[in-house]
Structure 1
Protein backbone atom coordinates (compact mmCIF):
# COMPACT_ATOMS: atom_id res chain seq x y z
CA UNK A 1 0.00 0.00 0.00
CA UNK A 2 1.22 3.49 -0.85
CA UNK A 3 1.20 6.08 1.91
CA UNK A 4 -0.17 9.53 1.18
CA UNK A 5 3.30 11.03 1.44
CA UNK A 6 5.69 8.83 -0.57
CA UNK A 7 8.47 7.32 1.54
CA UNK A 8 11.61 7.58 -0.57
CA UNK A 9 14.79 5.68 0.29
CA UNK A 10 18.06 7.42 -0.60
CA UNK A 11 21.71 6.58 -0.11
CA UNK A 12 23.04 9.31 2.16
CA UNK A 13 21.33 11.86 4.33
CA UNK A 14 18.86 14.70 3.87
CA UNK A 15 20.03 17.52 1.58
CA UNK A 16 22.30 15.16 -0.37
CA UNK A 17 22.09 15.09 -4.17
CA UNK A 18 19.89 12.00 -3.87
CA UNK A 19 17.31 13.96 -1.89
CA UNK A 20 17.57 16.81 -4.39
CA UNK A 21 16.84 14.31 -7.18
CA UNK A 22 13.89 12.92 -5.17
CA UNK A 23 12.47 16.45 -4.77
CA UNK A 24 12.85 17.03 -8.50
CA UNK A 25 10.88 13.86 -9.30
CA UNK A 26 8.24 13.76 -6.55
CA UNK A 27 8.07 17.38 -5.32
CA UNK A 28 9.14 18.30 -1.80
CA UNK A 29 6.25 16.59 0.02
CA UNK A 30 8.05 13.31 0.65
CA UNK A 31 9.36 11.39 3.62
CA UNK A 32 13.06 10.77 3.09
CA UNK A 33 14.37 7.44 4.35
CA UNK A 34 18.14 7.86 4.93
CA UNK A 35 20.26 4.77 4.18
CA UNK A 36 23.98 4.09 4.55
CA UNK A 37 24.35 2.17 1.28
CA UNK A 38 22.57 1.56 -2.01
CA UNK A 39 21.91 -2.03 -0.94
CA UNK A 40 20.18 -0.72 2.17
CA UNK A 41 17.80 1.38 0.02
CA UNK A 42 16.70 -1.78 -1.81
CA UNK A 43 16.29 -3.62 1.51
CA UNK A 44 14.08 -0.77 2.78
CA UNK A 45 11.88 -1.17 -0.31
CA UNK A 46 11.84 -4.96 0.03
CA UNK A 47 10.88 -4.79 3.73
CA UNK A 48 8.06 -2.31 3.18
CA UNK A 49 9.91 0.54 4.93
CA UNK A 50 9.92 2.65 1.75
CA UNK A 51 7.67 3.08 -1.29
CA UNK A 52 10.40 4.17 -3.71
CA UNK A 53 14.16 4.15 -4.17
CA UNK A 54 16.05 6.98 -5.86
CA UNK A 55 19.42 5.69 -7.08
CA UNK A 56 22.23 7.34 -9.07
CA UNK A 57 23.19 5.22 -12.08
CA UNK A 58 25.61 7.40 -14.06
CA UNK A 59 27.42 10.72 -14.03
CA UNK A 60 28.45 12.64 -17.14
CA UNK A 61 32.03 12.89 -15.84
CA UNK A 62 32.60 9.92 -13.52
CA UNK A 63 30.69 7.45 -15.76
CA UNK A 64 28.46 4.52 -14.73
CA UNK A 65 28.06 3.33 -11.15
CA UNK A 66 28.67 -0.32 -11.98
CA UNK A 67 27.69 -1.93 -8.62
CA UNK A 68 24.26 -0.32 -8.95
CA UNK A 69 23.59 -2.25 -12.17
CA UNK A 70 24.02 -5.48 -10.21
CA UNK A 71 21.50 -4.27 -7.62
CA UNK A 72 18.96 -3.62 -10.40
CA UNK A 73 19.24 -7.20 -11.56
CA UNK A 74 19.49 -8.87 -8.14
CA UNK A 75 16.45 -7.19 -6.62
CA UNK A 76 14.41 -6.98 -9.80
CA UNK A 77 12.31 -3.97 -8.74
CA UNK A 78 10.85 -2.12 -11.73
CA UNK A 79 12.30 1.20 -12.87
CA UNK A 80 9.37 3.64 -13.08
CA UNK A 81 11.16 6.86 -13.91
CA UNK A 82 14.40 8.77 -14.26
CA UNK A 83 15.67 12.23 -13.44
CA UNK A 84 18.75 14.19 -14.52
CA UNK A 85 20.22 16.54 -11.96
CA UNK A 86 22.86 19.21 -12.69
CA UNK A 87 25.62 18.75 -10.12
CA UNK A 88 26.46 22.19 -8.78
CA UNK A 89 29.01 22.31 -5.98
CA UNK A 90 29.62 25.15 -3.54
CA UNK A 91 32.10 25.88 -0.77
CA UNK A 92 30.27 26.45 2.54
CA UNK A 93 31.21 27.26 6.12
CA UNK A 94 29.69 28.44 9.41
CA UNK A 95 28.37 32.02 9.19
CA UNK A 96 31.12 34.54 9.85
CA UNK A 97 34.02 32.28 8.85
CA UNK A 98 36.43 34.05 6.49
CA UNK A 99 38.08 32.31 3.56
CA UNK A 100 41.52 33.01 5.12
CA UNK A 101 40.56 30.92 8.20
CA UNK A 102 39.99 27.74 6.23
CA UNK A 103 42.40 24.88 6.82
CA UNK A 104 40.28 21.86 5.80
CA UNK A 105 37.80 21.03 3.01
CA UNK A 106 35.56 17.94 3.31
CA UNK A 107 33.43 16.18 0.71
CA UNK A 108 32.63 12.97 -1.15
CA UNK A 109 35.59 11.71 -3.27
CA UNK A 110 33.65 12.18 -6.54
CA UNK A 111 32.72 15.76 -5.56
CA UNK A 112 36.34 16.47 -4.64
CA UNK A 113 37.48 15.12 -8.01
CA UNK A 114 35.00 17.43 -9.74
CA UNK A 115 36.47 20.49 -7.96
CA UNK A 116 40.13 19.66 -8.37
CA UNK A 117 40.95 22.78 -10.44
CA UNK A 118 39.61 25.05 -7.72
CA UNK A 119 41.28 23.13 -4.87
CA UNK A 120 44.65 23.12 -6.67
CA UNK A 121 44.73 26.91 -6.36
CA UNK A 122 44.71 26.64 -2.55
CA UNK A 123 47.37 24.05 -1.59
CA UNK A 124 47.22 25.24 2.04
CA UNK A 125 43.72 23.69 2.37
CA UNK A 126 43.85 20.05 3.42
CA UNK A 127 41.26 17.91 1.59
CA UNK A 128 39.49 15.13 3.52
CA UNK A 129 37.24 12.52 1.90
CA UNK A 130 33.89 11.59 3.41
CA UNK A 131 31.04 9.26 2.41
CA UNK A 132 28.45 11.99 1.86
CA UNK A 133 28.48 15.65 0.76
CA UNK A 134 25.58 16.68 3.00
CA UNK A 135 27.03 14.83 6.01
CA UNK A 136 30.07 17.12 5.82
CA UNK A 137 27.82 20.19 6.03
CA UNK A 138 25.93 18.64 8.95
CA UNK A 139 29.17 17.86 10.80
CA UNK A 140 30.44 21.45 10.46
CA UNK A 141 27.18 22.69 11.99
CA UNK A 142 27.09 20.09 14.81
CA UNK A 143 30.74 20.38 15.80
CA UNK A 144 30.94 24.14 15.13
CA UNK A 145 34.08 23.71 12.99
CA UNK A 146 35.35 27.23 12.30
CA UNK A 147 38.34 26.23 10.16
CA UNK A 148 36.52 23.76 7.87
CA UNK A 149 34.44 24.01 4.70
CA UNK A 150 32.18 21.46 3.05
CA UNK A 151 31.75 21.04 -0.69
CA UNK A 152 28.03 20.36 -1.19
CA UNK A 153 24.81 21.66 -2.78
CA UNK A 154 22.62 24.66 -1.86
CA UNK A 155 20.11 22.33 -0.17
CA UNK A 156 22.79 21.33 2.38
CA UNK A 157 23.77 24.96 3.04
CA UNK A 158 20.11 25.83 3.67
CA UNK A 159 19.30 22.82 5.86
CA UNK A 160 22.41 23.07 8.04
CA UNK A 161 22.56 26.87 8.19
CA UNK A 162 25.88 27.37 6.43
CA UNK A 163 27.07 30.31 4.38
CA UNK A 164 28.23 29.80 0.80
CA UNK A 165 31.71 31.33 0.39
CA UNK A 166 32.28 30.31 -3.24
CA UNK A 167 29.62 29.23 -5.72
CA UNK A 168 29.93 26.76 -8.59
CA UNK A 169 33.45 25.53 -7.89
CA UNK A 170 33.02 22.41 -10.05
CA UNK A 171 35.46 22.30 -13.00
CA UNK A 172 32.89 21.22 -15.56
CA UNK A 173 29.70 23.28 -15.56
CA UNK A 174 27.84 20.71 -17.68
CA UNK A 175 27.98 17.98 -15.07
CA UNK A 176 24.82 15.86 -14.71
CA UNK A 177 23.95 12.76 -12.74
CA UNK A 178 21.18 10.45 -13.91
CA UNK A 179 19.04 8.87 -11.20
CA UNK A 180 16.59 5.99 -11.55
CA UNK A 181 13.31 5.78 -9.62
CA UNK A 182 12.34 2.24 -8.52
CA UNK A 183 9.34 0.83 -6.70
CA UNK A 184 7.63 -2.49 -5.95
CA UNK A 185 5.69 -4.39 -8.62
CA UNK A 186 2.40 -3.67 -6.76
CA UNK A 187 3.14 0.02 -6.77
CA UNK A 188 4.31 0.34 -10.36
CA UNK A 189 1.04 1.04 -12.21
CA UNK A 190 0.82 1.63 -15.95
CA UNK A 191 2.49 4.62 -17.56
CA UNK A 192 2.62 5.72 -21.18
CA UNK A 193 6.24 4.74 -21.59
CA UNK A 194 8.66 5.91 -24.28
CA UNK A 195 11.84 4.54 -22.70
CA UNK A 196 12.91 1.17 -21.27
CA UNK A 197 15.87 -0.36 -19.47
CA UNK A 198 16.63 -3.91 -20.65
CA UNK A 199 19.13 -6.53 -19.56
CA UNK A 200 20.11 -9.67 -21.48
CA UNK A 201 22.89 -12.04 -22.47
CA UNK A 202 23.77 -13.08 -26.00
CA UNK A 203 25.45 -16.26 -27.21
CA UNK A 204 29.24 -16.12 -27.51
CA UNK A 205 29.18 -16.14 -31.30
CA UNK A 206 30.41 -13.67 -33.89
CA UNK A 207 27.85 -10.95 -34.50
CA UNK A 208 25.28 -12.00 -31.87
CA UNK A 209 25.20 -8.57 -30.19
CA UNK A 210 25.25 -6.85 -33.59
CA UNK A 211 22.04 -8.75 -34.53
CA UNK A 212 20.25 -7.28 -31.51
CA UNK A 213 21.49 -3.76 -32.25
CA UNK A 214 20.50 -4.06 -35.91
CA UNK A 215 16.95 -5.05 -34.94
CA UNK A 216 16.64 -1.89 -32.82
CA UNK A 217 17.96 0.24 -35.69
CA UNK A 218 15.63 -1.38 -38.26
CA UNK A 219 12.58 -0.78 -36.06
CA UNK A 220 13.54 2.86 -35.47
CA UNK A 221 14.25 2.36 -31.76
CA UNK A 222 17.04 4.56 -30.41
CA UNK A 223 19.60 2.96 -28.10
CA UNK A 224 20.61 5.72 -25.68
CA UNK A 225 22.95 3.63 -23.52
CA UNK A 226 24.74 0.27 -23.47
CA UNK A 227 26.72 -1.08 -20.55
CA UNK A 228 28.28 -4.53 -20.22
CA UNK A 229 29.02 -6.31 -16.95
CA UNK A 230 30.70 -9.73 -16.58
CA UNK A 231 28.39 -12.47 -15.29
CA UNK A 232 29.85 -13.51 -11.93
CA UNK A 233 31.73 -16.79 -12.09
CA UNK A 234 31.17 -17.27 -15.83
CA UNK A 235 34.06 -16.78 -18.20
CA UNK A 236 33.33 -14.78 -21.36
CA UNK A 237 29.69 -14.21 -20.36
CA UNK A 238 28.31 -10.70 -20.04
CA UNK A 239 25.09 -9.02 -19.05
CA UNK A 240 24.27 -6.18 -21.42
CA UNK A 241 22.26 -3.33 -19.95
CA UNK A 242 20.61 -1.34 -22.70
CA UNK A 243 18.41 1.77 -22.53
CA UNK A 244 16.11 2.24 -25.52
CA UNK A 245 13.75 5.05 -26.55
CA UNK A 246 10.95 5.15 -29.10
CA UNK A 247 8.26 7.44 -30.47
CA UNK A 248 5.65 4.75 -31.25
CA UNK A 249 4.91 1.79 -28.99
CA UNK A 250 4.66 -0.59 -31.97
CA UNK A 251 8.35 0.04 -32.84
CA UNK A 252 9.35 -1.11 -29.36
CA UNK A 253 6.97 -4.09 -29.34
CA UNK A 254 8.20 -5.30 -32.73
CA UNK A 255 11.87 -5.02 -31.73
CA UNK A 256 11.29 -6.96 -28.48
CA UNK A 257 9.61 -9.85 -30.31
CA UNK A 258 12.65 -10.25 -32.56
CA UNK A 259 15.32 -9.62 -29.91
CA UNK A 260 13.99 -12.50 -27.80
CA UNK A 261 15.16 -14.95 -30.51
CA UNK A 262 18.81 -13.88 -30.13
CA UNK A 263 19.11 -13.38 -26.36
CA UNK A 264 18.79 -15.37 -23.15
CA UNK A 265 18.08 -14.32 -19.53
CA UNK A 266 16.17 -11.40 -21.03
CA UNK A 267 14.81 -8.93 -18.44
CA UNK A 268 12.79 -5.76 -18.79
CA UNK A 269 14.11 -3.73 -15.85
CA UNK A 270 11.48 -1.05 -16.38
CA UNK A 271 9.36 0.87 -18.89
CA UNK A 272 8.90 4.54 -18.09
CA UNK A 273 8.68 8.08 -19.38
CA UNK A 274 11.91 9.58 -20.64
CA UNK A 275 13.03 12.56 -18.55
CA UNK A 276 12.52 15.74 -20.57
CA UNK A 277 13.95 19.08 -19.59
CA UNK A 278 16.00 21.70 -21.33
CA UNK A 279 19.32 20.38 -20.07
Structure 2
Protein backbone atom coordinates (compact mmCIF):
# COMPACT_ATOMS: atom_id res chain seq x y z
CA UNK A 1 0.00 0.00 0.00
CA UNK A 2 1.40 3.36 -1.00
CA UNK A 3 1.81 5.80 1.89
CA UNK A 4 0.64 9.43 1.74
CA UNK A 5 4.25 10.55 1.50
CA UNK A 6 5.97 8.53 -1.28
CA UNK A 7 8.98 6.51 -0.12
CA UNK A 8 11.60 6.85 -2.84
CA UNK A 9 14.70 4.63 -2.92
CA UNK A 10 17.87 6.30 -4.23
CA UNK A 11 21.45 5.17 -4.69
CA UNK A 12 23.55 7.31 -2.36
CA UNK A 13 22.68 9.55 0.54
CA UNK A 14 20.49 12.60 0.99
CA UNK A 15 21.46 15.62 -1.17
CA UNK A 16 22.93 13.33 -3.84
CA UNK A 17 21.97 13.91 -7.48
CA UNK A 18 19.56 11.00 -7.14
CA UNK A 19 17.67 12.80 -4.38
CA UNK A 20 17.72 16.00 -6.43
CA UNK A 21 16.19 14.05 -9.35
CA UNK A 22 13.57 12.55 -7.00
CA UNK A 23 12.63 16.06 -5.78
CA UNK A 24 12.39 17.27 -9.37
CA UNK A 25 10.00 14.45 -10.27
CA UNK A 26 7.89 14.10 -7.10
CA UNK A 27 8.36 17.45 -5.35
CA UNK A 28 10.11 17.79 -1.98
CA UNK A 29 7.40 16.10 0.12
CA UNK A 30 8.87 12.59 -0.09
CA UNK A 31 10.63 10.16 2.22
CA UNK A 32 14.07 9.35 0.84
CA UNK A 33 15.28 5.77 1.32
CA UNK A 34 19.11 5.83 1.17
CA UNK A 35 20.74 2.77 -0.44
CA UNK A 36 24.39 1.80 -0.95
CA UNK A 37 23.91 0.37 -4.44
CA UNK A 38 21.49 0.37 -7.35
CA UNK A 39 20.67 -3.28 -6.60
CA UNK A 40 19.74 -2.30 -3.06
CA UNK A 41 17.20 0.24 -4.39
CA UNK A 42 15.45 -2.55 -6.31
CA UNK A 43 15.56 -4.79 -3.23
CA UNK A 44 13.93 -2.00 -1.19
CA UNK A 45 11.10 -1.83 -3.75
CA UNK A 46 10.80 -5.62 -3.86
CA UNK A 47 10.63 -5.86 -0.04
CA UNK A 48 8.05 -3.03 0.12
CA UNK A 49 10.44 -0.75 2.01
CA UNK A 50 9.99 1.78 -0.82
CA UNK A 51 7.19 2.77 -3.19
CA UNK A 52 9.45 3.99 -6.02
CA UNK A 53 13.01 3.79 -7.29
CA UNK A 54 14.75 6.72 -8.99
CA UNK A 55 17.74 5.40 -10.96
CA UNK A 56 20.24 7.08 -13.29
CA UNK A 57 20.37 5.36 -16.68
CA UNK A 58 22.50 7.61 -18.88
CA UNK A 59 24.54 10.80 -18.97
CA UNK A 60 24.95 12.83 -22.15
CA UNK A 61 28.74 12.98 -21.59
CA UNK A 62 29.62 9.72 -19.80
CA UNK A 63 27.09 7.58 -21.73
CA UNK A 64 24.83 4.72 -20.58
CA UNK A 65 25.12 3.06 -17.17
CA UNK A 66 25.13 -0.47 -18.54
CA UNK A 67 24.73 -2.51 -15.30
CA UNK A 68 21.45 -0.70 -14.65
CA UNK A 69 19.96 -2.14 -17.86
CA UNK A 70 20.60 -5.60 -16.41
CA UNK A 71 18.73 -4.60 -13.23
CA UNK A 72 15.72 -3.53 -15.32
CA UNK A 73 15.54 -7.03 -16.80
CA UNK A 74 16.33 -8.92 -13.59
CA UNK A 75 13.64 -7.27 -11.46
CA UNK A 76 11.07 -6.46 -14.15
CA UNK A 77 9.58 -3.46 -12.33
CA UNK A 78 7.67 -1.14 -14.67
CA UNK A 79 9.14 2.23 -15.66
CA UNK A 80 6.48 4.86 -14.92
CA UNK A 81 8.39 8.05 -15.65
CA UNK A 82 11.66 9.79 -16.43
CA UNK A 83 13.38 13.00 -15.46
CA UNK A 84 16.41 14.84 -16.84
CA UNK A 85 18.62 16.66 -14.36
CA UNK A 86 21.29 19.22 -15.24
CA UNK A 87 24.49 18.21 -13.43
CA UNK A 88 25.76 21.39 -11.80
CA UNK A 89 28.84 21.06 -9.61
CA UNK A 90 30.14 23.51 -7.01
CA UNK A 91 33.33 23.88 -4.97
CA UNK A 92 32.20 23.67 -1.33
CA UNK A 93 34.04 24.39 1.93
CA UNK A 94 33.26 25.06 5.57
CA UNK A 95 32.07 28.66 6.03
CA UNK A 96 34.93 31.16 6.38
CA UNK A 97 37.69 28.89 5.08
CA UNK A 98 40.19 30.75 2.86
CA UNK A 99 40.84 29.35 -0.63
CA UNK A 100 44.61 29.39 -0.09
CA UNK A 101 44.23 27.06 2.95
CA UNK A 102 42.57 24.30 0.90
CA UNK A 103 44.93 21.36 0.26
CA UNK A 104 42.49 18.58 -0.77
CA UNK A 105 39.48 18.29 -3.03
CA UNK A 106 37.22 15.24 -2.66
CA UNK A 107 34.40 13.92 -4.81
CA UNK A 108 33.14 11.03 -6.92
CA UNK A 109 35.60 10.11 -9.73
CA UNK A 110 33.14 11.09 -12.48
CA UNK A 111 32.44 14.46 -10.83
CA UNK A 112 36.18 15.08 -10.54
CA UNK A 113 36.66 14.25 -14.23
CA UNK A 114 33.85 16.62 -15.15
CA UNK A 115 35.64 19.44 -13.31
CA UNK A 116 39.16 18.72 -14.56
CA UNK A 117 39.61 22.13 -16.23
CA UNK A 118 38.90 23.93 -12.95
CA UNK A 119 41.07 21.56 -10.87
CA UNK A 120 43.99 21.90 -13.30
CA UNK A 121 44.11 25.64 -12.57
CA UNK A 122 45.10 24.85 -8.97
CA UNK A 123 48.01 22.35 -9.02
CA UNK A 124 48.39 22.68 -5.24
CA UNK A 125 45.13 20.77 -4.73
CA UNK A 126 45.48 17.04 -4.05
CA UNK A 127 42.57 15.14 -5.62
CA UNK A 128 40.96 12.41 -3.49
CA UNK A 129 38.35 10.11 -5.03
CA UNK A 130 35.38 8.95 -2.99
CA UNK A 131 32.15 7.03 -3.57
CA UNK A 132 29.53 9.79 -3.51
CA UNK A 133 29.42 13.55 -4.05
CA UNK A 134 26.96 14.21 -1.23
CA UNK A 135 28.90 11.95 1.17
CA UNK A 136 31.99 14.09 0.52
CA UNK A 137 30.09 17.25 1.44
CA UNK A 138 28.77 15.53 4.57
CA UNK A 139 32.30 14.47 5.53
CA UNK A 140 33.66 18.04 5.25
CA UNK A 141 30.84 19.15 7.55
CA UNK A 142 30.93 16.23 10.03
CA UNK A 143 34.71 16.21 10.43
CA UNK A 144 34.99 20.02 10.19
CA UNK A 145 37.74 19.75 7.56
CA UNK A 146 39.24 23.21 7.19
CA UNK A 147 41.79 22.10 4.56
CA UNK A 148 39.38 20.19 2.28
CA UNK A 149 36.83 21.16 -0.35
CA UNK A 150 34.08 18.89 -1.70
CA UNK A 151 32.67 19.00 -5.21
CA UNK A 152 28.91 18.48 -5.00
CA UNK A 153 25.55 20.06 -5.83
CA UNK A 154 23.73 23.02 -4.27
CA UNK A 155 21.44 20.66 -2.34
CA UNK A 156 24.47 19.26 -0.48
CA UNK A 157 25.77 22.77 0.26
CA UNK A 158 22.42 23.67 1.84
CA UNK A 159 21.91 20.42 3.78
CA UNK A 160 25.46 20.32 5.20
CA UNK A 161 25.80 24.07 5.74
CA UNK A 162 28.76 24.57 3.40
CA UNK A 163 29.89 27.70 1.60
CA UNK A 164 29.87 27.75 -2.21
CA UNK A 165 33.40 28.99 -2.91
CA UNK A 166 33.14 28.56 -6.68
CA UNK A 167 29.89 27.97 -8.56
CA UNK A 168 29.32 25.85 -11.71
CA UNK A 169 32.84 24.47 -12.04
CA UNK A 170 31.87 21.63 -14.40
CA UNK A 171 33.76 21.85 -17.70
CA UNK A 172 30.68 21.21 -19.85
CA UNK A 173 27.71 23.39 -18.89
CA UNK A 174 25.29 21.22 -20.88
CA UNK A 175 25.76 18.13 -18.74
CA UNK A 176 22.51 16.20 -18.13
CA UNK A 177 21.70 12.85 -16.55
CA UNK A 178 18.53 10.94 -17.38
CA UNK A 179 16.85 9.13 -14.49
CA UNK A 180 14.12 6.49 -14.68
CA UNK A 181 11.29 6.23 -12.15
CA UNK A 182 10.14 2.68 -11.36
CA UNK A 183 7.49 1.20 -9.08
CA UNK A 184 5.84 -2.13 -8.26
CA UNK A 185 3.26 -3.60 -10.65
CA UNK A 186 0.41 -3.07 -8.15
CA UNK A 187 1.42 0.57 -7.67
CA UNK A 188 1.66 1.37 -11.41
CA UNK A 189 -1.20 3.51 -12.69
CA UNK A 190 -2.49 3.96 -16.22
CA UNK A 191 -1.14 7.18 -17.67
CA UNK A 192 -1.53 8.92 -21.00
CA UNK A 193 1.74 7.54 -22.33
CA UNK A 194 3.68 8.89 -25.31
CA UNK A 195 6.96 7.07 -24.67
CA UNK A 196 7.98 3.47 -24.01
CA UNK A 197 11.10 1.49 -23.16
CA UNK A 198 11.30 -1.86 -24.95
CA UNK A 199 13.68 -4.80 -24.77
CA UNK A 200 13.96 -7.63 -27.29
CA UNK A 201 16.26 -9.99 -29.17
CA UNK A 202 16.37 -10.56 -32.92
CA UNK A 203 17.69 -13.53 -34.86
CA UNK A 204 21.35 -13.41 -35.89
CA UNK A 205 20.52 -12.98 -39.59
CA UNK A 206 21.11 -10.22 -42.14
CA UNK A 207 18.53 -7.46 -41.81
CA UNK A 208 16.69 -8.79 -38.74
CA UNK A 209 17.18 -5.60 -36.70
CA UNK A 210 16.50 -3.48 -39.80
CA UNK A 211 13.04 -5.05 -40.07
CA UNK A 212 12.16 -3.79 -36.60
CA UNK A 213 13.54 -0.31 -37.32
CA UNK A 214 11.62 -0.16 -40.61
CA UNK A 215 8.35 -0.92 -38.81
CA UNK A 216 9.01 1.98 -36.41
CA UNK A 217 9.73 4.28 -39.35
CA UNK A 218 6.61 3.20 -41.26
CA UNK A 219 4.41 3.91 -38.22
CA UNK A 220 6.14 7.29 -37.68
CA UNK A 221 7.50 6.19 -34.30
CA UNK A 222 10.57 8.14 -33.18
CA UNK A 223 13.35 5.97 -31.74
CA UNK A 224 15.08 8.23 -29.21
CA UNK A 225 17.61 5.62 -28.02
CA UNK A 226 18.98 2.19 -28.86
CA UNK A 227 21.38 0.26 -26.64
CA UNK A 228 22.65 -3.28 -27.14
CA UNK A 229 23.99 -5.60 -24.46
CA UNK A 230 25.26 -9.19 -24.82
CA UNK A 231 22.96 -11.92 -23.49
CA UNK A 232 24.91 -13.58 -20.68
CA UNK A 233 26.40 -16.90 -21.72
CA UNK A 234 25.12 -16.68 -25.32
CA UNK A 235 27.59 -16.06 -28.13
CA UNK A 236 26.48 -13.47 -30.74
CA UNK A 237 23.15 -12.86 -28.98
CA UNK A 238 22.17 -9.39 -27.82
CA UNK A 239 19.38 -7.69 -25.96
CA UNK A 240 18.34 -4.45 -27.65
CA UNK A 241 16.97 -1.74 -25.38
CA UNK A 242 14.98 0.78 -27.38
CA UNK A 243 13.17 3.95 -26.31
CA UNK A 244 10.36 5.03 -28.64
CA UNK A 245 8.09 8.08 -28.75
CA UNK A 246 4.84 8.65 -30.64
CA UNK A 247 2.11 11.18 -31.37
CA UNK A 248 -0.79 8.76 -31.93
CA UNK A 249 -1.34 5.72 -29.65
CA UNK A 250 -2.72 3.71 -32.62
CA UNK A 251 0.63 4.03 -34.41
CA UNK A 252 2.43 2.63 -31.37
CA UNK A 253 -0.07 -0.23 -30.98
CA UNK A 254 0.29 -1.19 -34.65
CA UNK A 255 4.09 -1.04 -34.45
CA UNK A 256 4.18 -3.33 -31.39
CA UNK A 257 1.91 -5.92 -33.03
CA UNK A 258 4.15 -6.01 -36.12
CA UNK A 259 7.44 -6.02 -34.18
CA UNK A 260 6.35 -9.11 -32.22
CA UNK A 261 6.63 -11.16 -35.45
CA UNK A 262 10.35 -10.35 -35.83
CA UNK A 263 11.61 -10.51 -32.23
CA UNK A 264 12.18 -12.95 -29.39
CA UNK A 265 11.82 -12.37 -25.63
CA UNK A 266 9.99 -9.11 -26.30
CA UNK A 267 9.43 -6.99 -23.17
CA UNK A 268 7.74 -3.66 -22.60
CA UNK A 269 9.77 -2.26 -19.69
CA UNK A 270 7.39 0.65 -19.25
CA UNK A 271 4.98 3.04 -20.97
CA UNK A 272 5.06 6.56 -19.58
CA UNK A 273 4.90 10.26 -20.29
CA UNK A 274 7.95 11.70 -22.01
CA UNK A 275 9.76 14.26 -19.86
CA UNK A 276 9.70 17.74 -21.32
CA UNK A 277 12.56 19.88 -20.03
CA UNK A 278 11.75 23.45 -19.08
CA UNK A 279 14.10 26.06 -20.53
CA UNK A 280 16.94 26.69 -18.06
CA UNK A 281 19.63 29.26 -18.62
CA UNK A 282 23.11 27.81 -17.89
Structure 2 length-normalised TM: 0.98
Matched, 1:209 2:209: yes
**1:7 corresponds to which residue?**
7
Q: CA deviation at 1:196?
A: 0.2
Corresponding residue of 1:179: 179
Q: Does 1:244 align with 2:218?
A: no
Per the alignment, residue 126 of structure 1 pairs with 126
The aligned residue for residue 219 of structure 1 is 219
Q: CA deviation at 1:86?
A: 0.3
In the alignment, the residues of structure 1 paired with residue 67 and residue 162 of structure 2 have an alpha-carbon distance, to the nearest angstrom, of 33
Tell me the distance in 2 between the aligned counterparts of 1:197 and 1:108.
29
Partner of 2:267: 267
Query: Shift in Å at residue 277 of structure 1?
Result: 1.8
Is residue 106 of structure 2 the alignment partner of residue 111 of structure 1? no
Q: Distance in 1 between matches of 2:182 and 2:98?
A: 43
* CA distance in structure 2 between the partners assigned to 1:65 and 1:182 by the alignment: 16
Structure 1 unmatched runs, 5+ = none
Distance (whole Å) between structure 2 residues aligned to residue 48 and residue 235 of structure 1:
37
Deviations 1:152-204 (A, max 9, x none): 00000000000000000000000000000000000001000000000000000
SS in 2 for 1:88: coil
CA distance in 2, matches of 1:96, 1:206: 65
Which residue in the other structure is 1:27 paired with? 27
Instruction: Please tell me whether residue 141 in structure 1 is matched to residue 141 in structure 2.
Output: yes
Which residue is equivalent to 1:86? Answer: 86
Aligned to 2:163: 163
* Alignment length (residue pairs): 279
Structure 1 residue 269: Cα displacement: 0.2
1:98 corresponds in structure 2 to 98
> SS of the counterpart of 2:151?
strand
2 CA distance for matches of 1:110 and 1:167? 18
The alpha-carbon deviation at position 139 of structure 1 amounts to 0.4
Aligned partners of 2:84 and 2:141: how far apart in 1? 29
Deviation (angstroms), 1:239: 0.2
CA RMSD of aligned residues (A): 0.5
Question: What SS does the aligned partner of 1:182 have?
Answer: strand
Distance 1:118 1:193 in 2: 42
Shift of 1:123: 1.2
Counterpart CA distance in 2 for 1:187 and 1:113 is 38
The alpha-carbon deviation at position 278 of structure 1 amounts to 3.0
Segments of 4+ in structure 1 off by > 4 A?
Answer: none
Q: Which runs of 5+ in 2 are unaligned?
A: none
